[in-house]
Structure 1
Amino acid sequence: MTKLEKLRPCLEGARVLVTDPVDGLLLEALKAAGLEVDYRPGITRGELLVAIPGYDALVVRSRTKVDRVVIERAERLKVIARAGVGLDNIDVHAAHEHGIRVVNAPGAATQSVAELTIALLIAAARRLHESIELARKGIWKKVMGVELYGKTLAVIGFGRIGRRVTEIAKAIGMDIIAYDVVDISNYAEKLGVSVAHSLHDALAEADAVTLHVPLTPDTYHLMSWDEFRVMKRGAILVNTSRGAVVDSEALLWALEEGIVGAAALDVLEHEPPETEAERKLAAHPRVILTTHIGASTIEAQRRVAVETARKLIEALADARGC
């Protein structure tokens, strides 16, 4: 008998609400464990507040905000599962206060996000968006870019994604300087990269900067006025982490001053853009903006589905004393 078969009798009757689009593998795995699954992608906040008291587990991606109000309405909730990496849309502290476990799938999207990071870096260096736009208009004009070979890339945040980006960037021929708030010396030594003593030290040396940090009170607007002022003129900024890590007004200023030569962003603090600075960034000729697609690959979502389902089932079984 498999572990899942052993857990099924204990889990039968437990109800799971899924409020964002997920891969079908996740739904199938939850149902196979004997769980009753209600799939309601696009549910409104008002509908969520009405429905949540009837569920034992909740599955979300980045759209659904699980704040204290939602958590306090969740009378029988035992597990919140984030089908992805970041937990900034979940009030983890409130969940823990109410004895609710929070699980996610931190490693599942590593390759997809790393590949997008490199794609955005190359696109910014070669000004691909400008050339594509000219071609669409029938204007056959050369756009001059720069090579990445021999350039220095600052990798800010040296977790799974930052390290994978490093491996790919080194294959291109880039020199890497890494920075993190935790000790990364062992990883850096294995990958053959130098470690910066501070964020500003890393920024000052870099021809390009890529951000791979979670959104926390300490990383909110991590890249702001002072940080842009120490960067090399014309440097490239890539952000595939969280939008609020970058101060949009400061970035807009840095672009207009020529400090940042190009910015390639998969994320904004508000999605879609809400503030004047964000709207100006979206329309800026030296900004490449994608619609938060870092983990949006078939392969990543399948890995997310498998990992999320496993962790949710195990956490719910444990909460039920199975």
Structure 2
Amino acid sequence: MGVILVTSRSFSDGDVDLVERAAVAGHRILRGPAHHDLDELRVLLHGADAWIAGTGPVTGAHLAAAPRLKIIARYGVGTEAVDLAAARSRGIPVSNTPGANADAVADHAVGLMLASLRFVPDGDRRVRAGDWGVRRGRELGAATVGIVGFGRIGQGVAKRLSGFGSRILAADPFLPAEVVRAAGAVPTGLDELFETADLISLHAPGGQLLVDAGRLARMRRGSVIVNTARGDLIDEAAVADALHDGILAGYAADTLDGDTAAKNSPLLADALADRVIVTPHLGAQTTQAVDNMGSLSLDDVIAVLKGSEPRFPVTAP
């Protein structure tokens, strides 16, 4: 029997009983903390044959504490928190779940666009306080929307926006222009996109700064930014300044840089509550996405423990 360490909070929390599926395959699920604190994980890692890892860090020190580990299956897409080189040096394959939550995140991005353009959370707060005064919003179909990162999620957003009638721009250095056009967007350079779009939706990998004071200064006054990707893509202080100055009319995100440690983020200032929407990583939290991510990660774990290759391997740089 193999021991599968799971440190994703939502694993097997959908309609599919993945714990039972693992048991049928002859394996036992062992739960661990999602933050991946090594002191708390050390004993669990020591006996683990496989690790279905959440968003916490997976370092060389974690791997050194796991002498039996045969695979790390990232529950999700991003692998920037995983030390891929350390895994490769130990001969441990790393997999992820590409596309498993793309529809869920695309839905959430469009939902944040609408909520920001129409002041939905602020309207709810004001009504509860007895204020029925209106704020005039803007229609999504009248906006030029710039999508930064045009993979599965970005293309899913474009598909949804086509029903609204929005003009769609897309910046992605890895995609040929014809692929972008075929998916319903106009291929555009990143700087031009920031200068042209009324609303920008971020879907790029983390580990890079895309929204800084310089780009914000060149944006159209009254623009909106939606970030369902990574908190470190933006300079939070610069975005807060742009909101105070009116360069940005709104910022909506499913993440902050540092997340729960970011309670002092300038974007959470009371003075910006009518212009900023932040949700706690709700993008991938649908029953369908949870089932997809769990099933794909578990399938790769079972395959490797049987001596096969994972279906969705991640190659170390």
TM over 0.5: yes
- 2: CA distance between counterparts of 1:151 and 1:65? 38
The equivalent residue for 1:301 is 290
- 2: CA distance between counterparts of 1:213 and 1:66? 21
**Percent identity, aligned pairs only?**
31
Change (3 A) 1:223 1:281: farther
Letter of the 2:306 counterpart = A
- 2: CA distance between counterparts of 1:114 and 1:282? 29
The answer as to whether partners of 2:268 and 2:276 remain within 8 angstroms in 1 is no
SS at match of 1:115: helix
Correspondence 1:262 to 2:253: no
Letter of the 1:293 counterpart = L
Greater shift after overlay, 16-25 or 254-263?
16-25
The answer as to whether partners of 1:81 and 1:104 remain within 8 angstroms in 2 is yes
- 2: CA distance between counterparts of 1:270 and 1:240? 14
Match of 1:49 among 38, 42, 55: 42
Runs of 4+ with deviation above 6 angstroms: none
The equivalent residue for 2:304 is 315
The answer as to whether partners of 1:252 and 1:281 remain within 8 angstroms in 2 is no
Correspondence 1:60 to 2:49: no
- 1: CA distance between counterparts of 2:227 and 2:97? 20
Match of 2:212 among 224, 237, 244: 224
For normalisation by structure 2, the TM-score amounts to 0.90
Greater shift after overlay, 43-52 or 228-237?
43-52
SS at match of 2:108: helix
The equivalent residue for 1:235 is 223
The equivalent residue for 1:131 is 123
The equivalent residue for 1:109 is 101
- 1: CA distance between counterparts of 2:176 and 2:200? 18
The equivalent residue for 1:168 is 160
Aligned residues: 304
Greater shift after overlay, 88-97 or 245-254?
88-97
Match of 1:247 among 223, 228, 235: 235
The answer as to whether partners of 1:235 and 1:260 remain within 8 angstroms in 2 is yes
Match of 1:186 among 178, 187, 206: 178
Greater shift after overlay, 303-312 or 26-35?
26-35
- 1: CA distance between counterparts of 2:209 and 2:145? 20
Q: Give CA deviations for 1:59-97 in whole Å, capped at 9, x if unaligned.
A: 1222x3212211122212111111112122222222112
- 1: CA distance between counterparts of 2:58 and 2:105? 24
SS at match of 2:141: coil
Letter of the 1:49 counterpart = R
- 2: CA distance between counterparts of 1:215 and 1:303? 22
The equivalent residue for 1:10 is none
The answer as to whether partners of 2:122 and 2:273 remain within 8 angstroms in 1 is no
- 2: CA distance between counterparts of 1:270 and 1:249? 14
Displacement after TM superposition at 1:149 (Å): 1.4
The answer as to whether partners of 2:32 and 2:41 remain within 8 angstroms in 1 is no
Query: Pairwise CA RMSD of aligned residues?
Result: 2.0
Displacement after TM superposition at 1:184 (Å): 3.4
- 2: CA distance between counterparts of 1:230 and 1:283? 21
Match of 1:158 among 150, 167, 170: 150
- 1: CA distance between counterparts of 2:126 and 2:171? 37
